[in-house]
Amino acid sequence: MPLCVHPGRTGNIVGMKIALAQIAPVFLDRAATIAKIADWVASAADAGCALVCFGEAIAPGYPFWLSRLHGASFNNPQLKRWHAAYVHAAVCIEEGHLQPVCAAAKRRNIAVVVGIIERPHDRGGHSLFCSRVFIGADGQILSVHRKLMPTYEERLAWGAGDGAGLCVHRVGPFTVGALNCWENWMPLARAALYAQGEDLHVMIWPGSANLTRDLTRFVALESRSFVASVGAILRESDLPAHLPDRDALCHKGELIYNGGSCIAGPDGSWIVEPQSGGEHLLTATLDIHRVLEERQNFDAAGHYSRPDVLRLAVDRRRHRAADLND
């Protein structure tokens, strides 16, 4: 059973309860990981949540081997085998791989933000993209956003995304947007969501308190929004025994990714401080009035913007390998 952490709050609350599912993947096993995600969606619904969020690349896992097996070694047969296994385990939305999660969302009336490694048909079906998927409480996939720029060694496994999915969705009283990992450091990507009325920002991460601790509070202060950061965890014990090169990847008992999931309020204060080390269902009830209070003196896309001086153009078209007109 997941461990639930409930921060205390007193006073009148006009808002909704959300959950961060800090879990480990069933590493490189797409079907088992998706089934696990569906189970945690149900657990979040049981806890009374309207939204549940999962980490970056949770299905089928983050390519941590790249930093440990000299991933830039060109034409390396070992790395080619790893990549082929990764492609084989990746998520193809067009083939219905996410249907168990969609069905759980619909059955339990809860929205879901989840990070996947996507293998899309519209880019030929053999390249990978780090994607954020937003599933509505009706079980429909509302948007898929492919990470604009993979970070550092990620570029050895993932392609660069596009602006499709740089959008927000209404969940209860909140307008929710979400970005992948270091996209959250990109000022213009954040500004594109602010401009659409975002007041609950979700950051999805592979799993590290070092990544979430500072940026979560900063973006909350900048946007005067609630910011929820959710990271995965990965332990040496989560790696299957049959994994090639397993002993070279990590040492016994190692915590490879430690989670770091947390929630900050629109004044930058902690609602849930970064949680590390285990699988948790972190929940909090967010009060929309706190956003309105903090935007009294600063609203990045409202009275404190100057569109007559500074303007942002966003291309939200999906870039495909070919437009086939028969």
Can you give the CATH number for the domain in which 178 is found? 3.60.110.10
Number of domains in the chain: 1
User: Which candidate in 49, 53, 181, 262 is catalytic?
Assistant: 181
The answer to whether residue 261 is domain-embedded is yes
pLDDT category of residue 1 using cuts at 50, 70 and 90: very low
The residue-averaged pLDDT of 51-70 equals: 96
Average pLDDT, the chain: 94
The reply to whether 301 falls in a domain is no
For 100-142, write each residue's pLDDT tens digit.
999 999 999 999 999 999 999 999 999 999 999 999 999 999 9
Instruction: Name the active-site residue from 53, 130, 147, 222.
Output: 147
Is this model's pTM higher than 0.85 or not? yes
Residue 309, domain member (yes or no): no
**Has 181 been annotated as catalytic?**
yes
**Confidence bin at 22 (pLDDT 50/70/90):** very high
pLDDT value, residue 11: 47
Distances (CA, A) of 282 to 148, 156, 201: 28, 33, 16
Identify the pLDDT of residue 190.
98
Active site residue 250: no
Residue 196 inside a domain? The answer is yes
pLDDT above 70: residue 7: no
In a domain, 304, yes or no: no
Q: Does any domain span residue 117?
A: yes
Our answer to whether residue 56 is catalytic in this structure is yes
13 pLDDT above the threshold of 80: no
Average pLDDT over residues 262-282: 97
Q: Is residue 272 part of a domain?
A: yes
Which entry of 56, 118, 154, 294 is annotated as an active-site residue? 56
Q: What is the pLDDT of residue 324?
A: 87
Which DSSP string corresponds to 99-136?
HHHHHHHHHHT-EEEEEEEE--GGGTSSS-EEEEEEE-
Q: What value does the mean pLDDT take over residues 312-324?
A: 93
Report if residue 81 sits inside a domain: yes
Q: By mean pLDDT, which of 5-9, 228-232, 236-240, 321-325 is the weakest?
A: 5-9
pLDDT value at 220 more than 80: yes
Q: What is the domain extent for residue 198?
A: 14-294
* Secondary structure (DSSP) of 47-100: TT-SEEE--TTTBT---GGGGTTTTT-TT-HHHHHHHHHHHHHSB-GGGTTTHH
* Contact criterion met (CB below 8 Å) for 164 and 123: no
C-alpha–C-alpha distance, residues 259 and 220, integer Å: 19
